[in-house]
Chain A
Amino acid sequence: MNDFIVGFVLIVGSILVAIAALGVLRMPDLFLRMSTTTKGSVFGLVLVMVGSALFFGDIAVWTKAMATVLFVVLTLPVAAHMIGRAGYFDRTPLWSGTTVDELSGKYDPQSHELQPPDTSLVSDSPSEAESGDRDPGKSPQL
């Protein structure tokens, strides 16, 4: 019975990781690729770790596995956030089907900080600030 549960959890986890890799291969955009690789691979890795810890059933192994799970769940979204931020500043082209880019024109291109919301809404172009209607398929304008 324990072997059945361990095998099931391991298979589901590896299927999720393979789906994440398929998304990285097939998604059209850096940000869509990142969404698959963070969500899918984190959940698949958690399932694989839980399955291998269930196989041993030892308190030392459970502690190390849960420490790894906690660390990965805490750090992989942070790493993905930093990569996405760097990719956005690197003017990575968005997918041609992107409709809304709410960050367009809101970053200061020199200091890489968000501009205060009242100046971007009031001063120059409120329509562009609230709808973000730049042409999709081109690089983001900071």
Chain B
Amino acid sequence: MSVEDVVYLVVFPLLGLGVLMAVVRLIRGPGLPDRVVAMELIATIGIAMLAAYAVVSGSRAYFDVILLVSLISFLGTVAIAVSIERRVRR
């Protein structure tokens, strides 16, 4: 059982299950902060999926994409948090 089999048979199903559970919370979440937490988790799982797919495809270029996605995810989360707090204050 090679690393590719491990990634295809174990890692991708587990991460996909995580995305499904986060999407359920994204739809059901009672408030905006719950949805932001679910979106952040989906971005994190996307980063993990990119790393696992870099192993499968053998391409090193995905690590640049991972750096960019983590940066954009952090910026988006902070922007939404600041906007929620500013909306409450007014």
Question: Which residues of chain B in 40-55 are interfacial with respect to chain A, using CB atoms and an 8 Å cutoff?
Answer: 40-41, 44-45, 47-48, 51-52, 54-55
Taking a contact as CB atoms under 8 Å apart, the answer to whether B70 and A24 are in contact is no
A34 CB–B CB distance under 8 Å:
yes
Interface size on A (CB < 8 Å)?
A: 55
Known: A3-B3, A82-B78, A89-B85. A21 touches B41 (CB 8 A): yes
What is the predominant secondary structure among interface residues of chain A facing chain B?
helix
Known: A10-B11, A21-B21, A45-B47. A37 touches B41 (CB 8 A): yes
Taking a contact as CB atoms under 8 Å apart, the answer to whether A72 and B70 are in contact is yes
| Chain A contacts for B63, CB-based, 8 A | 61, 64-65, 68
Taking a contact as CB atoms under 8 Å apart, the answer to whether B55 and A3 are in contact is no
Question: Which residues of chain B in 15-41 are interfacial with respect to chain A, using CB atoms and an 8 Å cutoff?
Answer: 15, 17-19, 21-22, 24-25, 30-34, 36-38, 40-41
A129 CB–B CB distance under 8 Å:
no
Question: Which residues of chain A in 1-15 are interfacial with respect to chain B, using CB atoms and an 8 Å cutoff?
Answer: 3, 6-7, 10-11, 13-15
A102 CB–B CB distance under 8 Å:
no
Interface size on B (CB < 8 Å)?
A: 51
| Chain A contacts for B33, CB-based, 8 A | 30, 83-84, 86-87, 90, 92
| Chain A contacts for B44, CB-based, 8 A | 17, 37, 41-42, 45, 72, 76
A94 CB–B CB distance under 8 Å:
no
A residues whose Cβ falls under 8 Å from a Cβ of B? 3, 6-7, 10-11, 13-15, 17-18, 20-22, 24-25, 30, 33-34, 37, 41-42, 44-45, 48-49, 51-52, 55-56, 58, 60-61, 64-65, 67-68, 71-72, 75-76, 78-80, 82-87, 89-90, 92-93, 110, 112
30 CB-based A-B contacts, threshold 8 Å: A6-B55, A10-B55, A11-B6, A14-B10, A14-B52, A21-B41, A21-B45, A24-B21, A37-B44, A41-B41, A41-B45, A48-B11, A51-B51, A51-B55, A52-B55, A56-B60, A68-B47, A72-B44, A76-B44, A79-B81, A82-B77, A82-B85, A84-B33, A86-B85, A87-B33, A89-B85, A90-B31, A90-B88, A92-B34, A112-B89
